Amino acid sequence: MLSREDSRRLAQLERQLLRDDPDFCARMREGQSSPAGHRRAPVVLMVGTVALYVMALILAVAGWWIPAAVSALGATMTAAAAAHRLIRSRAPGR
């Protein structure tokens, strides 16, 4: 994280570059892709989903039904979030 002064200086340099060489800035904007973290997020969410489902299974076998149900609900919500992000990232126009 940049300090306030560093952020101000970076913004000033960006404005100066935009004034001095707008073609370069346009080329840089065209070449930008989505961050790598966005592509990996569904994998991380799916690993979390599997872990929650395993935990729910263990809790159910142990006879703790309410914590097992809460864990299964959390796993289902996590799986839905992963599916939503995966579908959204593969949608046309992205």
The predicted pLDDT at position 86 comes to 82
What does the pLDDT average to over 10-18? 91
The predicted pLDDT at position 60 comes to 95
d(CA 60, CA 72): 10
In a shared domain, residues 52 and 82? yes
Question: What's the domain count of the chain?
Answer: 2
- Domain of 9, in residue numbers: 1-32
In a shared domain, residues 68 and 89? yes
d(CA 75, CA 59): 13
Q: Regarding predicted confidence, which is higher, 19 or 92?
A: 19
Q: Where are the alpha helices (DSSP H) in 1-94?
A: 4-20, 22-31, 36-61, 65-89
In a shared domain, residues 41 and 67? yes
CB 32 within 8 A of CB 65: no
- At 46-94, the pLDDT tens digits run 899 999 999 999 999 999 999 999 999 999 999 999 888 888 877 766 5
In a shared domain, residues 43 and 63? yes
In a shared domain, residues 71 and 87? yes
- pLDDT band of residue 32 (cuts 50, 70, 90) is low
What does the pLDDT average to over 27-51? 74
